[in-house]
Amino acid sequence: MARITGLDRTGVEVACAVRPGGHVLQVCNGKGLTAEEASLGALFETAELWAAERVPPGRLVWGARGELDGRIGAVWGAAALGSAGALAVPRLWSDSVRCAWQQAQELHSGRTVWVPAQGIYCPPSGAAELGPVSVTWTSNGSGAHPEERKAQLHALLEATERDQLARAMPGGWTEESVRRRMLRTPGLEQKAPRTAALAQVLRERGFGVYLFDATPYLRTPGTVGLPVAAAVLVDLEEGPVPLTAGYACALGRDTALLRALLEAAQSRLTDIHGAREDVSASDRTAARAFAEACASVRAKRQVGDMPDFSQDAGSAARGVRRVLEQLRRAGFTQVAAVSLDAPVSGLHVQRVVVPGMRISELL
């Protein structure tokens, strides 16, 4: 573990967990208002990847969907992975192809379902076989926590965030999305006090702070109705990282905005400490143009107009029920959860699969 907060001037606590020999990633970052929060975030993400790399062959079922569906219960095909990946090589997938299946629990009904194991696991070469690889794996919709319900809630909110961003900003950051979604600063202290406090600190340290309501419009198909936030952090001193963005979905608007802003600060350190081989260098010209576009906007959107279910945030179980209800109303009538092995006792790792969900590529 390393506390890397001092490598930048935001003051936001960021920690990294280094896992030599890790397959998916060797370094995971975490952020927070305290060093403990940041360290736990890094460790929880490490646990999620550790679990995805380790396949429990004794608990998988092998066979073709055509022969198993109905015999062992409902068997979801690759097209149903949704939040957990997408079919990348259609010619390698059909109901007659034999592959490994992972047991899951459908959260609306409580019944057992089976999902393609290759959408859940990402083992290194030479590990357990899962069948012809036809699905793109993603860590989206993962959560880890000592409390199982909190791990599940984290996984659900992450999957929802990625889907709702894809619906709210299908073309990514555009001039229209910046203009229509930027939030006014007045009212932030009253409606999102924790976010307002952090934003003020960042401004005093030489950063431009721009907050956005990334919740899809009500008329957009698939709108879940939970608050989704985006934050853009601009280095006004034009340091090595000119601009970063962060995103979050939470039950409460203040929490969503705060987490998005924390993620934007963490993204700076992800670049600065240089341990992520999958993060490319910033395009300074494009970043400068984007920063100028943000500075020129006269924000009209009110923070208080964002949805808010903070009354359900006091209990993880109540939070899970709220998210599931919002998903059901939005048309996501199937939601499955997989309990994965954890690297240590007393820790729970959950992965959710939501058919019909999209995965935004926004970073």
Query: Which pLDDT does position 276 carry in this prediction?
Result: 65
Asked whether residue 144 is assigned to any structural domain, the reply reads no
CA atoms within 13 A on the CB side of 353: 29
230 and 295 fall within a common domain:
yes
Tell me how far apart the alpha carbons of residues 16 and 7 are, in angstroms, rounded to a whole number.
Answer: 12
212 and 84 fall within a common domain:
no
The range of the structural domain enclosing residue 218 comes to 168-310
Amino acid at 29: N
Query: Which pLDDT does position 279 carry in this prediction?
Result: 67
Amino acid at 236: L
Query: Which pLDDT does position 363 carry in this prediction?
Result: 85
pTM over 0.85: yes
24 and 87 fall within a common domain:
no
For the chain, the straight-line distance linking the first and the last C-alpha, in angstroms and rounded, comes to 24
The CATH number of the domain holding residue 207 is 3.30.160.660
Please choose, from the candidates 359, 361, 360, the residue with its C-alpha nearest in 3D space to the C-alpha of residue 81.
Answer: 359
Asked whether residue 336 is assigned to any structural domain, the reply reads no
Do 120 and 351 touch, CB atoms closer than 8 A?
Answer: yes
24 and 73 fall within a common domain:
no
Query: Which pLDDT does position 277 carry in this prediction?
Result: 64
Other Cβ atoms closer than 10 A to 262: 26
Distances (CA, A) of 339 to 34, 42, 98, 152, 350: 29, 20, 23, 9, 5
Contact residues for 34 (Cβ-Cβ < 8 A; gap 6+): 13
Q: Rounded to the nearest 5 degrees, what angle is found at the Cα of 32, between the Cα atoms of 278 and 241? A: 45
CA atoms within 13 A on the CB side of 127: 14
For residue 310, the surrounding DSSP H or E stretch is: none
Asked whether residue 304 is assigned to any structural domain, the reply reads yes
Q: Beta strands 13-18 and 336-340: pairing type?
A: unpaired
Query: Which pLDDT does position 282 carry in this prediction?
Result: 74
Asked whether residue 355 is assigned to any structural domain, the reply reads no
**Phi and psi angles of residue 349, each rounded to the nearest 5 degrees, phi first:** -120, 125
123 and 85 fall within a common domain:
yes
81 and 8 fall within a common domain:
no
Asked whether residue 341 is assigned to any structural domain, the reply reads no
Q: Rounded to the nearest 5 degrees, what angle is found at the Cα of 97, between the Cα atoms of 64 and 127? A: 90
80 and 26 fall within a common domain:
no
34 and 81 fall within a common domain:
no
115 and 64 fall within a common domain:
yes
DSSP assigned state of 22: -
Helix axes 193-204, 253-272, angle to 10 degrees: 30
Q: Beta strands 112-116 and 74-75: pairing type?
A: parallel
213 and 258 fall within a common domain:
yes
Asked whether residue 319 is assigned to any structural domain, the reply reads no
302 and 189 fall within a common domain:
yes
323-356 burial: b if 16+ Cβ within 10 Å, else e: bbebbeebebebbbbbbbebbeeebbbbbbbbbb
For residue 21, the surrounding DSSP H or E stretch is: none
191 and 297 fall within a common domain:
yes
Asked whether residue 338 is assigned to any structural domain, the reply reads no
Please choose, from the candidates 267, 264, 192, the residue with its C-alpha nearest in 3D space to the C-alpha of residue 232.
Answer: 264
For residue 191, the surrounding DSSP H or E stretch is: helix 188-191
CA atoms within 13 A on the CB side of 329: 12
Q: What is the pLDDT along the chain (363 residues), one digit of tens a residue?
A: 999 999 999 999 999 999 999 999 999 999 999 999 999 999 999 999 999 999 998 899 999 999 999 999 999 999 999 999 988 999 999 999 999 999 999 999 999 999 999 999 999 988 889 999 899 999 999 999 999 999 999 999 999 999 999 999 999 999 999 999 999 999 999 999 999 999 999 999 999 999 999 999 999 999 999 999 999 999 999 899 999 999 999 999 999 999 999 999 999 999 999 876 666 777 889 999 999 999 999 999 999 999 999 999 999 999 999 999 999 999 999 999 999 999 999 999 999 999 999 999 998
Asked whether residue 231 is assigned to any structural domain, the reply reads yes
Largest CA distance in the chain: 63
Total count of domains within the chain? 3
Query: Which pLDDT does position 275 carry in this prediction?
Result: 74
